[in-house]
Amino acid sequence: MPPAKAPESRQTLDPERVARWLARHPDFFIGREGLLQQLKVPHPESHGAISLLERLVIDLRERAEGAEWRLEQLLESARYNESQYRRTRELVLALLEAEDSDALGEALATQLAERFQTQAVALWCAPELTDIEPQPPQPPRFVLDENSGTRLGALLDGRASRCRRLSRKDWQRLLPHSEPPKQAGSCALTRLTLGEPIGYLILASHDGDYFRASLDTLFTEYLGEVVARLMMRHAGRL
């Protein structure tokens, strides 16, 4: 009697090799659609299993929802940018219509309050820009003195523009025409220069987080450039 054959050992295919092979033969399932229907894969939200086709439907639905969300984000960003452009345009046009520096300061404060919810504005001007004026500047314009200039420079800390917290004491010193917050507020501060330092522009809020340090200062810098040129024009130096 011949000896019994030893049972054949069961071989297990390496999943990674199978995956690589299928990646190199994407047409393998053509003509084998029935096999696709038999394949089972883990359910993405439970411990059970579902067919491969069901899983593909779920994945496609999630991708569609993700694409729809990204599209909505892009549309929302476009609507915000358009709104920002229109408000900035109206602000600049109002500043261009100001007949003198006091009217410029008043238009600046009004437009920023109405269109950008900025609660207080101060425009500190270098003395040489106000020496020729028959009357002292009216708030929100002020003549820059040594103490104010030193404090404003310290708040900027070597930068041309920045957003930061503003203590009640600094508010009272730098925005004396405006009611200070009960505690600390916040501000966007930019240095006004046009070949030479000519002052500072402060936009302030009672909300300590409104002008967060992480905010971009591009708008403030742009506004400062416009205001600096108009101030120089009204002073007859441009």
Distance CA 68, CA 86 (A): 27
Measure the CA–CA gap between 141 and 122, rounded to whole angstroms: 6
Average confidence (pLDDT) per 10 residues, the chain, 238 residues: 55 79 82 72 70 78 90 90 94 96 96 95 94 90 96 96 97 96 96 93 96 94 96 88
DSSP 7: P
Q: What is the pLDDT of residue 19?
A: 81
What pLDDT, on the 0 to 100 scale, is given for residue 89?
A: 96
Q: What tokens appear for 226 in the block?
A: 């416009």
Cα 15 to Cα 21: distance, rounded to the nearest angstrom: 10
In 3D space, the residue among 229, 237, 234, 227 whose CA is nearest the CA of residue 140 turns out to be 227
220, containing H or E segment: helix 218-234
Phi, psi of 200 (to 5 degrees): -140, 150
- The answer to whether the CB of 185 falls within 8 A of the CB of 205 is yes
d(CA 4, CA 234): 111
Helices in 52-199 by DSSP H: which ranges? Answer: 52-96, 101-116, 146-156, 168-174
Question: 228 is written with which tokens?
Answer: 């600096």
Angstrom distance (rounded) from CA 151 to CA 167: 12
Phi-psi region of 224 (alpha: psi -120 to 50; beta: other; left: phi over 0): alpha
Domains of the chain: 97-234 (3.30.450.40)
